[in-house]
Amino acid sequence: MRELPRDPERLKHIILAIDNATSFTEGKSVEDLQKDPLLFFATVKNVEIIGEASYMISLDFKANHPKTPWKKIVGLRHVFVHEYYQILPDELMNVIQNDLQPLRKQVVEYLKEFETIAG
């Protein structure tokens, strides 16, 4: 049986999913998300990955990094997975434009902590 990814790997998954979602929507509009189901669902999937990776991060790590709204991130994932039919393109774009880059910045800093411990 393979070992489950640990916190640093989950953090890397978050960064990759943020980078995917932002690159997919770079130069795009809400109307583009409405018209292009492939763009819409590829972007939604990456936001789901952010939420799932956040959910799988250890409770100790999350408790030691309360600046990040872990519960909100996981909650958004639950909405995207279980209430997928209610996702509005403008709300998705709002998350991408306003929430992902600040989260990415935090996660990059968290990864530096692991480098400091290991190095």
**Rounded Cα–Cα distance for residues 28 and 11 (Å):** 26
Active-site option among 13, 65, 77, 78: 77
**Rounded Cα–Cα distance for residues 14 and 46 (Å):** 9
Cα–Cα nearest to 33, from 92, 83, 78:
92
CB of 95 within 8 A of CB of 47? yes
Q: Is 104 a catalytic residue?
A: no
**Rounded Cα–Cα distance for residues 11 and 109 (Å):** 10
Q: Is 10 a catalytic residue?
A: no
Catalytic residues: 77, 82
